[in-house]
Amino acid sequence: MTTENPTSLRMHLTQYLLLRNRLGHNLADAARLLPRFVTYLEELGHSTVTIADALAWCQQPPSPPGSSVWPRRMGAVRGFARYLSGIDPATEVPPIGLLPSRRRWRPPFIYSSDDIAALLGAAAALPSPRRAATYSTLFGLLAATGMRVGEALTLDSSDIDWDDGVVLVRESKFGKSRNVPLSDSTTEALARYASLREGFDRTPGNESYFVSLTGRRVIYESVFEVFADLRRGSGIGRQSTVAPRIHDLRHTFAVTVLLQWYRDGGDVAARLPRLSTYLGHRDPRSTYWYLSAAPQLLALAAERLEPTLPQVNS
């Protein structure tokens, strides 16, 4: 237990709910459940969230088998605990799966720069020079742009504007096309692969940018098999409770951009629609989700909104 006055936990809850509301989150469960959880802790005289207290509260009263009541309570508590962990180091965040439900939110693995370098290095070291060039370029593109795997695999050579450094993503997840600007280094890496690609044997009529060993368009199954081998061989995420996925490169890109925006003091809310458009989201609410992917993002968001939120007395 901390030495902080127990009433401060309720003040932190007020801040948390206001923060999530201003970031566009649906608060139906959190606003209803968390005040009850805080009351439970205050009655115990506890001012820090622990796994034991969270588990005990979520299971009171008993619910029928197969009910979603316990997992929904735990989901609300877990979100609040992730927020508190950036304020009170003694906070214990309940792990995923403690009270499992049929549909679980899986936290993303956030790659460090070393992780990405290890992945690209392992790809570049594949025995086949052709596969090495293809997969190191593919994974590098995903990390540098946050594109979906399917979007990268459907690229044709004509979709890259070399003069302006822009990739055309045609009819992505929601049936919309968009232009994705590239950095100079990413454009150069794509150009190097394009030069090598000209020497690859290809099936007649295949204009796909990424070419498989058989001369066809690279397919999902091959990408995931190669990624799994590279992940195991490089040791990425070996100490993590969450196994890295390819799609987590997209999560990492979004989290990195948001962290940079918060740290440079810019107006994140005003910039967010740009990131939503860049990522191909339907609206900014989908992009807000990334704030919950990294505790440091929530902490930075809270600091930015602090002047307008109720103050907590130590």
73, 245, 250, 251: the catalytic one is: 250
Q: Which of 83, 278, 288, 290 is catalytic?
A: 290
SS3 at position 166: strand
Based on the residue annotation, tell me whether 263 is a catalytic residue of this protein: no
Place of tokens 């394009």: 194
Strand partners, 166: 161, 181
Q: Is 176 a catalytic residue?
A: no
Instruction: Respond yes or no: is residue 173 known to be catalytic.
Output: yes
Q: Could you say which of 36, 247, 274, 282 is catalytic?
A: 247
Query: Which single residue is written with the structure tokens 């197969």?
Result: 66
Q: Given strand 166-169, what is the order of strands in its sheet? A: 160-161, 166-169, 178-181
Active site residue 290: yes
Q: Out of 10, 197, 245, 281, pick the active-site residue.
A: 281
Cα dihedral across residues 259, 18, 57, 48: positive or negative = positive
Nearest of 227, 222, 225 to residue 237 by alpha carbon: 227
Separation of alpha carbons 224 and 248, rounded Å: 13
Catalytic position from the list 12, 148, 217, 251: 148
Is 32 among the residues known to form the active site? no
Is 281 noted as a catalytic residue in this protein? yes
Residues contacting 35, CB < 8 A, separation 6+: 10, 13
Q: Which of 106, 170, 173, 238 is catalytic?
A: 173
C-alpha closest to that of 250 among 108, 136, 112, 118:
108
- Report whether 302 contacts 20 (CB < 8 A): no
Catalytic residue positions, numbered = 148, 173, 247, 250, 281, 290
